[in-house]
Amino acid sequence: MGGLIRLSRIIDRISLVIGRAASWLILAAVAVSSVNAIVRKLFDISSNAWLELQWVLFSAVFMLCAAWTLLANEHVRIDILSSFYPRRVRNLVEILGHSVFLLPLCVIMLITSLPFFLGSVRINEQSASAGGLPQWPAKSLIFIGFALLFAQGISELIKRLAIMRGDLPDPAVKMGQAHATAAENAVVMATNTADKKRS
Predicted pLDDT of residue 83 = 67
pLDDT winner (highest mean) among 81-95, 131-145, 168-182: 131-145
Domain around 48: 2-176
Query: For 8-34, what is each residue's pLDDT tens digit?
Result: 999 999 999 999 999 999 999 999 989
Q: Is residue 12 part of a domain?
A: yes
Task: Give the model confidence (pLDDT) of 81-116 as tens digits.
Answer: 666 778 888 888 888 889 999 999 999 999 999 999
| Residue 192 domain flag | no
Q: What does the H/E/C string look like for the chain?
A: CHHHHHHHHHHHHHHHHHHHHHHCHHHHHHHHHHHHHHHHHHHCCCCHHHHHHHHHHHHHHHHHCHHHHHHCCCCCCCHHHHCCCCHHHHHHHHHHHHHHHHHHHHHHHHHHHHHHHHHHHHCCCECCCCCCCECHHHHHHHHHHHHHHHHHHHHHHHHHHHHHHCCCCCHHHHHHHHHHHHHHHHHHHHHHHHHHHHC
Neighbouring residues of 141: CB distance < 8 A, sequence distance ≥ 6:
56, 59, 60, 63, 64
Residue 175, pLDDT above cutoff 60: no
| Domains in the chain, number | 1
Q: What is the pLDDT of residue 82?
A: 64
**Residue 157 within a domain:** yes
Flag whether 108 is in a domain. yes
pTM value is 0.79
185 found inside a domain: no
- Is residue 179 scored above 80 in pLDDT? no
195 or 163, greater pLDDT: 163
pLDDT at residue 178 greater than cutoff 60: no
135, part of any domain? yes
What pLDDT sits at residue 199?
A: 55
pLDDT of residue 75: 76
Q: Is residue 62 part of a domain?
A: yes
State the helix-helix crossing angle for 2-23 and 136-165, rounded to 10 degrees. 140
Residue 197 lies in a domain: no
CB 65 within 8 Å of CB 19: yes
* pLDDT value of residue 152: 96
